Amino acid sequence: MRVSGNADRFLRQAGRALGVMRSVLREIFDESAYARFLERNKVESSRAAYAGFLRECEGIRARRTRCC
Amino acid sequence: MPKPVRALVWAGVAVLGALAVATIAFHRGEQINAMWLVIAAACSYALGYRFYSKFVAAKVLALDALRATPAERLENGRDFVRTNKWVVFGHHFAAIAGPGPLVGPVLAAQFGYLPGTVWILAGAVFAGCVQDFVILLFSVRRDGKSLTEMARDEIGKVGGFVAYLAVLSIIVILLGAVALIVVNALKSSPWATFTIAMTIPIAFLMGVYLRYLRPGKVLESSVLGFGLVLAAIFGGQWVAQEAELARYFTFSAPTLALMIIAYGFAASALPVWLLLAPRDYLSTFVKLGTIALLAVGIVAVRPLLHMPALTRFIDGTGPVFAGNVFPFAFITIACGAISGFHSLIASGTTPKLIARETQTRMVGYGAMAAESLVAIMATIAACVLQPGVYFAINSPAGIVGQAPEAAASTIRSWGFTVTAAEMSQLAHAVGEQTLFNRTGGAPAFAVGMASIFSDSLGGQVVMAIWYHFAIMFEALFILTILDAGTRVGRFMVQDALGHIWKPIGRTSWYPSIVATSALIAGAWGCFVWQGVRDPLGGINSLWPLFGISNQLLATVALCVATTIIIKMGRGRYAAVTLAPLLWLVTVTFTASYHKIWDANPRIGFLAHATQLAASGSSGGATARLIFNDRLDAGVTFALVVMVAVILVESALEWSRVWSGRQAAEVREAAFVTTRFAKEQG
C-alpha cells in the first residue's frame, strides 16, 4: 500500500513537473502569448490571426535584448 | 522537515561545499576530478540562495507579498502578464544565457582552473546574482522601467544620458567581439561554414512555415528547424570531403567578416517574422538542449581536469590574452560572475511578467546562479583538454608562429607537452584541416565539449560530429545576438535621433531603417575588421574591451541599486551592492588603465601604437593598426569617463541624502494591495 502511495505521489509530481516544463517552453516560444492574443481578440488561429499577432508583437520582440 | 534536521542538512551542504572548494584550491601537481567544481558550485549557489539572498530579500529590500506588481496592475495580455514563477524563471534564464559564460571562462583558463572558478563562484553569489535580483525588483516597483530610465529618475538627468550612451557603446563593442569569435570559428572550415550558412534558409523556412503553413506552432517549427540543422551538420561533413564543393565554403577571416557585417545589416532591416524571430526560437531551442546535454555529459563522464590549478601565465605573459591575473581574469569572465548586460534584461521583459514581488528572488538570484553553473561547465570543457592542446588552439600565430612545428615547439618551451603530429591527428578527428591558432575560445570549447560528449555517447568515431555540433551551437547563439543586437541598437539610435529630426525616429520609415541599421552594423563592423587584421588575433584587444564595457555597465547598475537602497532609508545595508560596486570599480578602472597606458605593447593600446610607429614599417596596413590602437584607447577612456560621471553623480546624491540636505525619497509606483493575496508563492 505504502509503495503504491509513494508511486502515486511520484507520478503526480512528475506530471506536475512536466506540465510546468511545457508551460515554460510555451512561454519562451511565444505560444502562450499567441494563445492570449487569440483569447483577447476572440478569434480562431489562422494565417490572418497569426499575422495580426506578429504585427502586434513586432515592436516588443524587435526591442527584446538578448544577452551576451 | 523539522528544524533540527533542516539545520543538519544545511550544515552538511556547507561542509561538502567547503571540502570541494578546499580540494580545488589546495591540490597542486595532480589532476582533480571535474565533479569537485560541480559540487563546489552547487553547494555555493544553494547556500547563497538559502541564506544570503534571503537576508537581502528580508532586510535590505523588504519584499512585500501583498504589493501588486505591474503584471497585475497593468495587465494587458501583451507585455504585462502575470506568469507562473517557474515559467518566468525559464524565460529569464533563456534571455540571460548567451555565449559569454561559455567563451569567457575558456579564455581565462590560460591562468589555470583556479582563478576563474573562484571568481565565478564568489562573483555570482555576492555580486552577479545580487545585481540581477535588486535591479529586477526595483524595475518591478517602477512599472517595469528600464535601467536608463531608473538612472535618470534616481540619479539625475546626466546619469540617465550617460547610462544611455554606455548601453549603446557596450552593445556595439559586444557585437564586434562576438562576431570576431564566429569569424575565427568558421575561417578555413568548409564544414562549419556550410552548417552555419544553412541556418539562414532554415530560419526563412521556419518563418514561412509559422506564418503560412502552421500559424503559431513555434515549438513544432523549432523541432523541425532543429532536425534540419542536424541534417546540415551531416551535410557539412560531405561538403568538406568534396574538394569541388568545399571550395565554395572555404573563406579567409576578412571575407567572413564582411559577410557577417552584411548579414547583421540585412537581419536588422528585414521583417522580424522572416529571420530574427525564427532564428531566435531555433537558437533558444538548441541552447537549452545543449546546456542540459553538457550537464548530463559532465556528470556521466566525470572527467579529469588536465589543466593545472595555476599556470605560469598568471604573471601576465599569457598567449591567449596579455595581462596579469588581476585584473584581467575578472574582466575576461563577466557573464558567469557578474554581467552588466543582465541588468538590461532584468529591467526589460522579465519585470512585466512577475506575479508576486517575492518571486523576484527566485527569478533574479536563482537564474543568475544557473547561468553561473553554465560558466563552470565551460571551465570544465576547457580544462579537460591537455594544456598543450589548449594553448595550441588558443594562441595566435603572432605569438607561437604559423607553422605547426614552430607553434608546437614554442608551446613545449612553456612546459606544456604537444606535438604537431598530435594536433594534426586531433584536427583530423574533429574534421578540420588544422586546430592551430584557432583563437576566440569557441573552437577550444567545442573540442572540450566534443571530447566529453564522445566519451559518453558514440566514442571517437563521432567526435567530428560533436565538434561541429558545438561550433554550430555557439555560432547560432552568436548570430542571434548579432541580429537582435543590431536591431536593438538601431531602435536606440532612431529614438535618440528622432528628438533631433522627427522622421528618423519613425521605426517603420524605410530610409531611416536602412541608415540606422548601416550605422550600427558599420560601428561593430569596424571592431570585427580591426580584429581580423590584427596579427595578435584580435581577441587580445577586443575581449578585454568587451569585458571592461560589460563590467562598467554592471557598475552603472550597481550605482543605481545603491542609490535606491540609500533613498529607501536602508543605507546601513548599502554594502550589499556597494561592496561589489567598489570591487568592480577597482577591477575595471585598473584594467582600463593597463589597456590604455601599460608600457607592454601586448597590453597597452598606446604602447602598441608607439611600437608600430617606431618599427619603421610604413604603409596603409601599419597606419590602420596604429589608428585601431588609438581608437581602442579612446573608446576605453570614454567609457571610463562616462562611468566616472555616474559614480560622482551617485556619490553626490548619497551624500545629500545622508547629510539630510535631501529627503530620502524613491520614485516607485504607488502601493496597491494585490488581489491575489491568498495565492501561494
User: What does the pLDDT look like over B191-220, one tens digit per residue?
Assistant: 999 999 999 899 889 999 998 999 989 999
For residue B212, give the nearest of A20, A47, A49 by CB distance: A47
The whole-angstrom separation of Cα B286 and Cα B279 is 10
pLDDT above 60: residue B592? yes
* Selected residues 454-473 of chain B with any CB under 8 Å from a CB in chain A: none
What is the pLDDT averaged over residues B577-587?
Answer: 97
Give mean pLDDT, residues B484-501.
87
Q: Do A64 and B485 touch (CB under 8 A)?
A: no
User: How sure is the predictor about B681, in pLDDT bands with cuts at 50, 70 and 90?
Assistant: low
> Is B163:B492 a contact under the CB 8 Å cutoff?
no
Residues of A in contact with B349 (CB under 8 A): 60, 64
- Look at A67 and B218 and tell me if their CB atoms are within 8 Å: no
In the three-class reduction of DSSP (H, G, I as helix; E, B as strand; rest coil), residue B624 is classed as helix
User: How crowded is residue B501: how many other Cβ atoms within 10 Å of its Cβ?
Assistant: 9
Least-confidence region, from B55-69, B156-170, B398-412: B156-170
Out of B78, B178, B219, whose CB is closest to A60?
A: B78
pLDDT at residue A1 greater than cutoff 60 = no
Assembly ipTM: 0.83
* Reduced DSSP (H G I as helix, E B as strand, rest coil) percent helix, strand, coil of chain A, to 5: 80, 0, 20
* pLDDT tier, A3 (very low <50, low <70, confident <90, very high otherwise): low
Any CB–CB contact under 8 A between A42 and chain B?
A: no
Give the closest of A33, A46, A64 to B215, CB-based.
A46
Lowest mean pLDDT among B132-146, B169-183, B364-378, B590-604: B169-183
Q: If residue B304 lies in a helix (H) or strand (E), which one and from where to where? A: strand B304-305
Residue B176 has pLDDT above 70, yes or no: yes
The amino acid present at B30, given as its one-letter code, is: E
Convert the pLDDT of each residue in B347-362 to its tens digit. 988 999 999 999 999 9
Flag whether residue A62 sits within 8 Å of chain B, measured between CB atoms. Answer: yes
Residue B286 has pLDDT above 90, yes or no: no
Which residues of chain B lie closer than 8 angstroms to A28, CB-CB?
90-91, 94, 284, 288
Residues B285, B206: contact at Cβ < 8 Å? no
Give the C-alpha separation, B488 to B433, whole Å. Answer: 37
User: Which candidate, B493, B495, B533, B538, places its Cα nearest to that of B516?
Assistant: B493
Chain A interface, best mutation among B180, B273, B287, by max A CB count within 10 A: B273
Cis (ω within 30 of 0) for the bond into B327? yes
Joined together, the cell numbers standing for residue B375 give: 560558466
Buried b or exposed e, range B528-560, using 16+ CB within 10 angstroms: bbbbbebebbbbbbbbbbbbbbbbbbbbbbbbb
pLDDT tier, B680 (very low <50, low <70, confident <90, very high otherwise): low
Residue numbers in B near A30 (CB within 8 A): 218, 281
For residue range B250-270, list pLDDT tens digits in order.
999 999 999 999 998 988 888
Average pLDDT, chain B: 92
Instruction: Tell me how far the alpha carbon of residue B48 is from its chain's centroid.
Output: 22
- Give CA–CA dist A13/A15, Å, rounded: 5
Q: Can you tell me the mean pLDDT for B231-257?
A: 94
Q: Which residues of B touch A44 (CB under 8 A)?
A: none
Say yes or no to pLDDT of A68 above 80. Answer: no
Q: What is the pTM of this model?
A: 0.91
CB contact residues (below 8 A), chain B span 603-662, against chain A: none
Query: Mean pLDDT score of chain A, rounded to an integer?
Result: 85
Q: In Å, how far are B61, B68, B73 from B674, measured between CA atoms?
A: 18, 4, 8
Q: Is B336 on the interface with A (CB under 8 A)?
A: no
Question: Using a CB-CB distance cutoff of 8 angstroms, which residues of chain A are in contact with residue B284?
Answer: 28-29
Using 50, 70 and 90 to split pLDDT, how confident is the model at A2? low
How far CA B149 is from CA of B2, B64, B152, B157, B344, in Å, comes to 46, 23, 5, 9, 11
Q: Is the pLDDT of residue A21 over 70?
A: yes
| β pairing state of B32-33 and B304-305 | antiparallel
Q: What is the pLDDT of residues B521-549, one digit of tens each?
A: 999 999 999 899 887 778 878 888 889 98
**Which of the four pLDDT bands, split at 50, 70 and 90, describes residue B586?**
very high
CB contact under 8 A, B339 and A68: yes
